[in-house]
Amino acid sequence: MGAAYFYHLTESPLEATLPTLVEKSRAAGWRVLVRGREAGLLQRLDQVLWEKPVDSFLPHGMAGGPHDARQPVLLGVDLAAEGFECLMSVGGADLTGAEVGLAERACILFDGADPDAVAHARIQWKTLTSAGCAAQYWAQDGGRWTKKAEA
């Protein structure tokens, strides 16, 4: 069973953090699903993944294309989690305990400057840990990620 890692973004924006996490997930050999609630955010992240990191290439695609099943990283709204080892929730997209259980890792990235995003992340934490998922809460501390809680 996988674990849910909550990333409280306070020093780096989503556009800087997501490419790093995707790159690390791909290095582990994982197929990655980036699930959002708004197509506009996902389109912006699609562009970011084409541009960053500057010294490497992150092959990926937006859901709805002819080769979705072959994409190593797929961005979309309301996509099924089957077939992905790593799930990433952005923009408040929900993940279920069953989905987390199917994956090696689930990452919930949320904006620490947005009170609604923080409140939603707290609800997700309670929902997932109540469903029996292991969870870790990571916060930025002087440019480094520090684990602050574990359940």
Asked if pLDDT for residue 130 goes beyond 90, the answer is yes
Asked if pLDDT for residue 78 goes beyond 90, the answer is no
Question: Long-range contact list for 80-86, CB < 8 A, 24+ apart?
Answer: 81/33, 81/35, 83/31, 84/30, 84/31, 84/32, 84/33, 85/25, 85/28, 85/29, 85/30, 85/31, 85/32, 86/25, 86/28, 86/30, 86/31, 86/32, 86/33
Asked if pLDDT for residue 67 goes beyond 80, the answer is yes
| Per-residue pLDDT band at 62 (split at 50, 70, 90) | very high
The structure tokens listed for 27 are: 């290095």
SS3 at position 127: helix
The fold of the 3-150 domain, in CATH, is Rossmann fold (3.40.50)
Does residue 53 have a cis peptide bond before it, meaning omega lies within 30 degrees of 0? yes
| Per-residue pLDDT band at 1 (split at 50, 70, 90) | low
| pLDDT (0 to 100) of residue 23 | 93
| Per-residue pLDDT band at 55 (split at 50, 70, 90) | confident
Beta carbons within 8 Å of 12's beta carbon, 6+ residues apart: 140
Mean pLDDT of the chain: 94
